[in-house]
Amino acid sequence: MSNENLYNPHISVDCVVFGFDGEKLKVLLIERSIDEQNELYNDKKLPGSIILNNEDLDEAASRVLTELTGLKNIYLSQFQSFGNPNRTSNPRDLLWLERTTQLKIERIVTVAYTALIKIDRKLIFNATDSSANWYDIKEIAKMQLAFDHNQIIEKGLEHIRHQLKVEPHLLFELLPKKFTISQLRILHDVVHQIRSDVRNFQKKVSQMPYLLILDEVEEGVPHRAARLYKFDKKRT
């Protein structure tokens, strides 16, 4: 990352990557270590990158995710740009930026994206000398993240809630290929922070043409096994 001609040090993208573990809504964060006068300081940040010259914004976001997880064709959606001049005013953040980019940084406007991924896929976290982990979105609210990343995550969550009202089938991006109606409902509820009625939920999803029932049931549960369903993209 040391060539000034390749990177544009004024604009970045950040991705709020959502995942669902069957119980909780999680966001992917990168561990960050900063050596401040021989004191190691650790915190977390969103996956992101400054953009390449001649790279479109969507491409940059896509690149960040591919570099981080090895996955392609992830569902991404731009939702807001953040440009407050003092979002890069914390000396710790500035120090980290200049060390990792090797560029002189004055101020960065970041374009934020949400991404939805299936947490069950074995992800290859490639982030160079840093590691990625999932964090419960409720816990994140109590953590102090780099830059204005707490605020970005908050807005990202609002964004996916709005999107899901318009395109409910995006929920399936967060579920494994085969899933039960319970899993779907629990996910729906944790995203919208409600508790929906089991029967009304069944009724609603049974009207979705793109929800296909399989001739299989779940296994290894200590009670009646639930039927498995899959999502049929072609019917959206």
Return residues touching its own copies (CB under 8 A).
Answer: 8, 10-11, 51, 53-57, 78, 80-85, 106-107, 109, 111, 162, 166
By CB under 7 A, name the one of 84, 162, 225, 235 that touches DNA.
Answer: 225
CA 163/CA 185 separation, integer angstroms: 17
Nearest CB to DNA, comparing residues 209 and 222: 222
CA 99/CA 32 separation, integer angstroms: 12
Answer for the pair 150, 141: CB distance below 8 angstroms, yes or no: yes
161 touching DNA, by CB under 7 A: no
Bridge-partner residues for 75, per DSSP? 116
Answer for the pair 110, 11: CB distance below 8 angstroms, yes or no: yes
By CB under 7 A, name the one of 1, 202, 214, 235 that touches DNA.
Answer: 202
Which among 75-83, 102-110, 122-130, 193-201 is the span making contact with DNA, rule CB under 7 A? 193-201
∠ CA 165-23-112 to the nearest 5 degrees?
Answer: 50
221 touching DNA, by CB under 7 A: yes
CA 183/CA 20 separation, integer angstroms: 10
- Largest Cα span, the chain: 62
- In whole angstroms, how close is the CB of 218 to its own copies at the nearest point? 38
Residues 50-109 that bind DNA (CB under 7 A): none
By CB under 7 A, name the one of 104, 122, 199, 233 that touches DNA.
Answer: 199
Q: Which residues bind DNA (CB under 7 A)?
A: 180-182, 197-200, 202-204, 207, 217, 221-227
